[in-house]
Structure 1
């Protein structure tokens, strides 16, 4: 299994984020072999392997670039999609991503993060995904951000919710947020699934489900 981990200004210094750590541990527990690389070194990493990897797992923000590098006969997914599957909300998040195609001028999206990390200048939740959504839809979409334990009592003001992977939230809290959205009929998805949808590779990035 090859893991693609971009190290940019938004990456924490001196460590990997929790989903990356847990993925490495799961691979080791399965007695499989793990290689870690950055997007720029992915082509030479794949070429250096005598045997094709079973799967490539990438950070969501590199989905578009990595998709072009990985041959179609190699499974491709992201850390956040794996986490959604692990937490049991992948199907709901996949359905929620379809709301991106219905956005109109003036719609408001809630961007929810479970942690309270210091945001960098090119942060994925406050900069990269909003920029991608505006480019993908061509609409003047508005955004509201929450972080940590902060979460609105009502989601009705929002057209949809895009949540982080929830790695820093307990299962009960994440399930509560999902149920709030479902009860109010507000589509909810996560960062990785939204990015995969907008890059046209959501089907490919969930093909691994047929192999487990």
Structure 2
């Protein structure tokens, strides 16, 4: 009897950690691309994306993210201007590479509301290692919000910045991707 009581006490007092599967909640998430040109700044929004993650939470704290994949559909990137959108799709070689992907490699640091993630970003068929600072917030309903801004130089991915009006309008090669992603079980 003594063994059973000790075993029961030990099993109840031990916190069991295990990763849970999460998916992005597309309707409550946003991915915005901001850029410049020689005429004006511009903004496009990714209207079609998906993501999955394996996240470990214990005692209302983020412990680890063992895997995370995020996918943006290139022809789902919209500026509200059809001509600009088609130039964007051409620049990103959408027919050959219809998706932009991020695959997590490692979480190198976690604090109470920020983390540092490293992973592989693939744009137009070119994959580069990236590091990003991400803010996160554990919600009372069990969802997790991830927010961050990632600078990207298009030419690093062999993407020629889009041009219009026979080259009179030229996009800058630097863009910032702002993401506000909500993940739920």
Query: Do they fold alike, i.e. is TM over 0.5?
Result: no
Higher strand share: 2
Q: TM-score, normalised by structure 1?
A: 0.21
Q: Which one has the bigger helix percentage?
A: 1
TM-score norm. by structure 2 comes to 0.23
